[in-house]
Amino acid sequence: MAKKNHISETPATAWLKAHGVAFTEHPYDYLEHGGAQHSAAVLGLDPFSVVKTLIMQDERARPLAVLMHGNRTVSTKNLARQIGAKSVEPCKPDVANRHSGYLVGGTSPFALKRSMPVWVEASVLTLPAIWINGGRRGFLVGIHPGVLSDPLGAQPVQCALAE
C-alpha cells in the first residue's frame, strides 16, 4: 500500500530544488529486494517509466551510474562497448553505497557522493514523464526525463535487455 505522507528533504531533492527542477513526491512502503517492479506496482505506475539507478564499475574499478527502465536489465557487454570500457559489472552493495552516498534500494542519480559518469538508456529520454529514486528507500520523485540530460548531464546509451 502506498504511503501518503511527505518525505523530508534528501540530498537528491535538495539538488533538484537547487537546479529549479519541478518534481512530485511518491512515497511507498519499501520492500527489500522489491526493486522498481515493486515500487511501480504499489504506486500504480508502468514499470517501463520507473527508472532504476544502478552503480556499476569498469575493469579499473572506476564507478559509473546507469539509469535503466524498471522492467529492463543492463547488457553490461553492450554498455562496456558503447562507453569504451573493456568490461562493466555491478558494484557490490557496500561499494555502491560508498560511491553513491545512498543505500542500495534508495540510490538517486542526483547529488551522488562521488563524481562519476552517468549513462541513461536512450529510450528513457523519450518518455513523457519518469519516476526515479528520490534519495531514500521507499521514495520516488516524478520528473520530466529531460532533467537527466540537462542539468544532470547523463549521456544516452542503448544497453537494455527485456526482463
Q: Under 8 Å CB-to-CB from 145, ≥6 apart: which residues?
A: 51, 124, 125, 126, 127, 129, 130
Average pLDDT of the chain is 94
**pLDDT in the model for residue 150:** 96
Give the whole-angstrom CA distance, residue 157 versus residue 65.
12
Residue 32 dihedral angles phi and psi, to the nearest 5°? -55, 125
| pLDDT > 70 fraction of the chain, expressed in percent and rounded | 95
Q: Percentage of residues in the chain with pLDDT exceeding 90?
A: 93
> Is the pLDDT confidence value at 14 over 80?
yes
State yes or no: pLDDT of 3 exceeds 50: no
Residue 98 binned pLDDT confidence (cut-offs 50, 70, 90): very high
Each residue's pLDDT tens digit, 23-60: 999 999 999 989 999 999 999 999 999 999 999 999 99
Write the pLDDT tens digit of every residue in 69-90.
999 999 999 999 999 999 999 9
CA-to-CA separations, 10 to 84, 108, 135, 139, in angstroms, rounded: 33, 10, 6, 10
Residue 1 has pLDDT above 60, yes or no: no
For 124-158, the pLDDT digits (tens) are 999 999 999 999 999 999 999 999 999 999 999 99
Predicted local distance difference test score (pLDDT) of residue 136: 96
- Residue 162 pLDDT > 60: yes
- Domains delineated in the chain: 11-162 (3.90.960.10)
Q: Which residues contact 28 (CB under 8 A, 6 or more apart)?
A: 2, 3, 39, 42, 43, 138, 139, 140
Amino acid identity, residue 153? Answer: G
CA 64 to chain centre: 12
Pick 138 or 3 by higher pLDDT.
138
Predicted pLDDT at 2: 44
